[in-house]
Amino acid sequence: MNERRSTRTVVDGWVVLDKPVGMTSTHAVSRLKRIYNGKKAGHAGTLDPLASGILPVAFGEATKTVPFVQDGEKAYSFTVRWGIETDTDDADGKATRESEARPTIADIEALLPRFTGDILQIPPQYSAIKIAGERAYDLARDGETVELKPRPVTIHRLTLVDANADEAKLVMECGKGAYVRSIARDLGRLIGCFGHVTALRRTRVGPFFEDDSYTLDEIEGGEAGNALLSVEAGLTELPCVIVDRDAAARLRRGGSLILRGRDAPHDGIVYAACGGVPVAFGPVVEGALEPTRVFNLPF
């Protein structure tokens, strides 16, 4: 019996999706795979169904650059509803604690500095954190209460944008691993009124911003070609070393490359490009680029 061959095509690059509320990140990736008929795809950072905004999706060779995008800076705008804490720390959960107390604008702004800089944060019970090999949200859905340890995160900016008696709108810029839901929960507890997230929008992931994004309707309506960015788009926050074809061939074979010139990087992770096409990336060790991953792209 002959094996059935895949009818999917080779697609390499990034699509910055403006994910709608109510859709899981996995479903969003599946929709894009159908639109582009791509063989391989993955996203750089889960967005909950409650959330909208930037969901970068990598196709083909671009999936090798996902860690660099996923580890990049994030930005969010979100709304906190006071008076109720939920088991999920957002509007999809069940109420666990309630209060009639409500904060003033001064109450909120006085506490925001305690949530900026390098802080320790306890993730939500319903999160993707692994506990003994199990996802915390799976354990929580089974009725288990797990003890999640505080984790170091960095919050660059947390600003109050608007507020009324029952809600507050804030914006946050942060590093990897920070949870907006934890901010809402902990802020509500410190104020003494409890709180949970009712609306959340991600406006940045690494090198990608709202201006780079397209909705599913736009992509399905004829913008698929414009929405597909290059593989290199996921590497723009790394130093780039321009190489010739001979050096590119050497790197693709796994060989190291001595970096020469006054402006050559001396340490850290860099990527090499030839003719505008990424060739490989890896650390600089004693003045040489040691490729850890190579790209199978024509140049």
CA angle 224, 229, 232 (to 5 degrees): 160
**How many other CB atoms sit within 10 Å of the CB of residue 296?**
11
Burial of 4 (0-12, 13-18, 19+ CB in 10 A): exposed
Exactly one of 12, 18, 48, 90 is catalytic; name it. 48
Which residues face 57 on adjacent strands?
A: 15, 43
Give, for 99, the enclosing helix (H) or strand (E).
Answer: none
Residue 263 is among the residues annotated as catalytic for this protein: no
Q: Where are the beta strands (DSSP E) in the chain?
A: 13-19, 41-43, 51-59, 74-82, 84-86, 95-98, 117-121, 130-131, 134-135, 151-163, 167-174, 195-205, 208-209, 228-229, 240-242, 257-258, 269-274, 277-285, 288-289, 293-294
CA angle 10, 13, 14 (to 5 degrees): 135
| Cβ-proximal residues to 210 (8 Å cutoff; 6+ apart), any chain | 18, 53, 54, 203, 204
Entry field: residues in the chain: 299
Which residues face 59 on adjacent strands?
A: 13, 41
The residues annotated with a catalytic role in the active site are: 48
